Chains A and B, each alone.
Chain A
């Protein structure tokens, strides 16, 4: 093999990156995983993961990520906590630029995931952390016996609503359509809680309050009527945006910046693969990220074999 620092560098330590690391370690690739904060990714903020197979009672996101890390380390994975500033493609090796230098690798797997999308309405940026939150497991306990809102209607929004019901006196579930997208099982749980009021066909158009959130202004999309709900907390779960800004326009992306790949997770540049939530795809689950990670690692191994052979 050419004189590169690592056979494979994985960028991002969520379920996609950690799974890729398990497969790469077992393929005896010299592998480094770079993570900006800590392994686990969004899993870390999930209270209880109930749809990942093998854990019939559910498992905390923290524990699941810890188990994945241990499994990868058992096969020789090295993890460094560092942010990647830039990726420079090359032949036969690619260069990853860090704050304190750069590293080369024959193959790269990008698994930097996604972050919560904001609504983009007046008052939102100003009141984040002052009543508006994107993480129910982090901040739910601050809203004990208060009246709050959850904006969204997918699995995440419903899971977080169920979690928030432990604390909140009443939860207004605000959804822009007339039916929820989240799993039926979650919808049943919500209706049993008895403290959730669903506002159908409604959009938040403004967050109001001086130093703290005091109210949300809703627009009924069918009647055009607006109402103001006095509240002290609002949680937002309306989907994700990719953590791909650092890649600039290096790789083919869709209109939101999710990376386009083929069925073996290959991007537009040979030897650079993408896995997990950063990919353009329909569903983003821990289980799908795990699937992506294993495919990307096997594809990277095959790619490196071909490089060696040819």
Chain B
């Protein structure tokens, strides 16, 4: 999995909550500057952790249910899931090392 996986409300449970490996979901939208800022970092992580962490993106413009379920009121928000549970949640554009540290605990 070289590219981040695009997930939707419909396949969120199957792809993320039931994932065998930890998952990192980037909640984003096209109109959000800081989301654009972290996009290259998320792509890098998808490449570098292929097979170890499922890196995914959810467009909050097209999917309302999942962001509402997790109380997301700001983007970018990055959530690390493990075994269907939220392990870590980061809001705002942060550097690669902060995101890495968030899911390293789950590895």
Q: Are A129 and B95 in contact (CB under 8 A)?
A: no
Within 8 A of A (CB), among B55-107: 61, 67, 71-77, 89, 91-93, 95, 97
Could you say which residues of chain A place their CB within 8 Å of the CB of B36?
A: 38, 44, 62
Q: Are B71 and A138 in contact (CB under 8 A)?
A: no
**A residues within 8 Å of B by Cβ?**
36-38, 40, 43-47, 61-62, 81, 83, 99, 128-131, 133, 135, 137-139, 141-143, 211-212, 233
Q: How far is the CB of A37 from chain B (nearest CB, A)?
A: 4
> Out of A44, A128, A233, which one reaches B37, CB within 8 Å?
A44
Q: Are B73 and A133 in contact (CB under 8 A)?
A: yes
**B residues within 8 Å of A by Cβ?**
29, 31-38, 40-41, 61, 67, 71-77, 89, 91-93, 95, 97
Q: Contacts A83-B95, A128-B74, A128-B91 hold; do A45 and B34 have CB atoms under 8 A apart?
A: yes
Q: How far is the CB of A53 from chain B (nearest CB, A)?
A: 22
> Out of B31, B37, B91, which one reaches A137, CB within 8 Å?
B31
Could you say which residues of chain B place their CB within 8 Å of the CB of A129?
A: 72-74, 77, 89, 91-92
**Number of cross-chain contacts by CB at 8 Å:** 76
> Out of A38, A46, A130, A135, which one reaches B40, CB within 8 Å?
A38
Q: Measured between alpha carbons, how far is A212 from B72 in the docked complex, in Å? A: 10
Q: Contacts A130-B73, A133-B74, A211-B71 hold; do A141 and B29 have CB atoms under 8 A apart?
A: yes
> Out of A44, A83, A131, A143, which one reaches B34, CB within 8 Å?
A44
Q: Contacts A37-B95, A83-B95, A135-B34 hold; do A142 and B40 have CB atoms under 8 A apart?
A: no
Q: Measured between alpha carbons, how far is A37 from B76 in the docked complex, in Å? A: 13
Could you say which residues of chain B place their CB within 8 Å of the CB of A40?
A: 33, 37
Residue of B nearest to A35 (CB): B37
Could you say which residues of chain B place their CB within 8 Å of the CB of A99?
A: 97
Q: Are B37 and A38 in contact (CB under 8 A)?
A: yes
Q: Measured between alpha carbons, how far is A44 from B29 in the docked complex, in Å? A: 13
Q: Are A233 and B33 in contact (CB under 8 A)?
A: no
Q: Are B29 and A131 in contact (CB under 8 A)?
A: no
Q: Are A138 and B33 in contact (CB under 8 A)?
A: yes
Q: Measured between alpha carbons, how far is A38 from B40 in the docked complex, in Å? A: 9
> Out of A46, A47, A62, A233, which one reaches B73, CB within 8 Å?
A233
Residue of B nearest to A62 (CB): B33
Q: Are A138 and B77 in contact (CB under 8 A)?
A: no
Q: Are B38 and A37 in contact (CB under 8 A)?
A: yes
Q: Measured between alpha carbons, how far is A62 from B37 in the docked complex, in Å? A: 10
Residue of A nearest to B73 (CB): A142
Q: Measured between alpha carbons, how far is A135 from B76 in the docked complex, in Å? A: 11
14 cross-chain CB contacts under 8 A: A37-B93, A44-B33, A44-B34, A44-B37, A45-B34, A46-B33, A61-B33, A81-B40, A129-B77, A130-B71, A137-B31, A138-B33, A138-B35, A139-B73
Could you say which residues of chain A place their CB within 8 Å of the CB of B35?
A: 138
Q: Contacts A38-B36, A40-B37, A44-B37 hold; do A142 and B31 have CB atoms under 8 A apart?
A: no
Q: Measured between alpha carbons, how far is A128 from B33 in the docked complex, in Å? A: 18
Residue of B nearest to A134 (CB): B92
